[in-house]
Chains A and B, each alone.
Chain A
Amino acid sequence: MDIKDEKLKLEFPGQVHPSADGGILVTKLDEVINWARSNSLWPLVFGTSCCAIEMMSAADAKYDWSRFGFEVARATPRQADLIIVAGTIVMKMAPVLKRLYDQMPEPKYVIAMGACTISGGPFFYNTYSVVKGVDHVIPVDVYIPGCPPRPEALLHAMITLQEKIKHEPYFRKAKEDTK
């Protein structure tokens, strides 16, 4: 009896080091899931001014963002993973944008396209009606400067976002968010 109790009390030999990314199973699953997620990002149709023209151009046959998995542009935030804020956001539009962002399911990403979206713009920043940077309203993942940025720049930003998604720990993301 004594021996048995002693055996139960025996501790694990050696030291346990918790893996930073959650072990081989989780990291490999992360890789597979992130590969799948990053190659089928569905953008929300959201253009408020001239940057939207370049965004449409990036979607058309010449630049064709469907080569990178963005072709399913959704007209509803409930089916979108990504919102490309293309254009000036005014005070009256800001609550609408916030609402659209809140309606998108997690995980969700934001690309701020063009000078107006980043800082209020080269022309209208000193106005009573313009939001001076969309990051006052929603968190931004990738910024693209330009007025407007060329479709290549938008594609570059979207590929940058894909890189970001590929390197983020998918399983821990939800945990960190709830903290």
Chain B
Amino acid sequence: MTNEELKQRFTELLPGAIYDETGEFLNVIINSEVLLPFVKELRNNDTLSFDYLFCLTCVDWKDHLMMVYHLLSKDHKHTVVVKAKITDITNPEIESVSSIWKTANFHEREVYDLFGVKFLNHPDLRRIFLDEDWPGHPLRKNYVDENMIEI
């Protein structure tokens, strides 16, 4: 499917979605509340069939957090980037997608470790790199480490 066709399909599914095509892939920006039903449809619909999650990460924009999901379909050879905006930065929460793509399990643990995003219904949400008693989440912009030099 071309990007235009994908955009049309996504608007049918989610009328409020915002698009950004400045980068390499088509970006779909949605709210974090509607993530799970939206990506479930992307995975299970035969014409979309996004069966491969090849990147899951998070970006801290200070006033909000942006979850980023890179999805690819091996059958249809099309790619999309789904971005889910989390507005609550003090207690960020989002639904886990590990029930849809198994690979999300460890990726979400990494995001939880470094950004502190809590993934709801995750099978095993604990830190993956840092010690269990590590204070804070280091990749957050408001993270303070007294041993680091301020730039």
Contacts and interface: CB of A to CB of B under 8 A. Distances in A.
Interface of A: 91-92, 126-129, 132
Interface of B: 129-131, 138, 143, 145, 147-149, 151
18 contacts: A91-B130, A91-B131, A92-B129, A92-B130, A92-B131, A126-B148, A126-B149, A126-B151, A127-B148, A128-B138, A128-B143, A128-B145, A128-B147, A128-B148, A129-B129, A129-B130, A129-B138, A132-B147
Nearest to B131: A92
Contacts of A132: 147
B70 to A, nearest CB: 25
Q: What secondary structure prevails in chain A residues at the interface with B?
A: loop
Nearest to A92: B131
Q: Closest 10 CB pairs between A and B?
A: A128-B138, A128-B145, A126-B149, A126-B148, A128-B148, A92-B131, A132-B147, A92-B130, A129-B138, A127-B148
Nearest to B137: A128
A126 B149 CA distance: 6
Contacts, number: 18
Contacts of B131: 91-92
Nearest to B151: A126
Contacts of A126: 148-149, 151
Nearest to B150: A126
B150 to A, nearest CB: 9
Given A128-B145, A132-B147, 16 more contacts: A91-B130, A91-B131, A92-B129, A92-B130, A92-B131, A126-B148, A126-B149, A126-B151, A127-B148, A128-B138, A128-B143, A128-B147, A128-B148, A129-B129, A129-B130, A129-B138
A128 B145 CA distance: 7
A132 B145 CA distance: 13
A91 B138 CA distance: 13
B57 to A, nearest CB: 18
Contacts of B148: 126-128
A173 B89 CA distance: 57
A92 B113 CA distance: 14
A91 B145 CA distance: 13
Contacts of A92: 129-131
B149 to A, nearest CB: 5
Contacts of A127: 148
B145 to A, nearest CB: 5
| Most B Cβ at <10 Å: residue of A91, A92, A128, A132 | A128
A92 B130 CA distance: 7
Nearest to A95: B131
Contacts of B147: 128, 132
| Most A Cβ at <10 Å: residue of B130, B131, B147, B151 | B147
Contacts of B138: 128-129
A94 B3 CA distance: 49
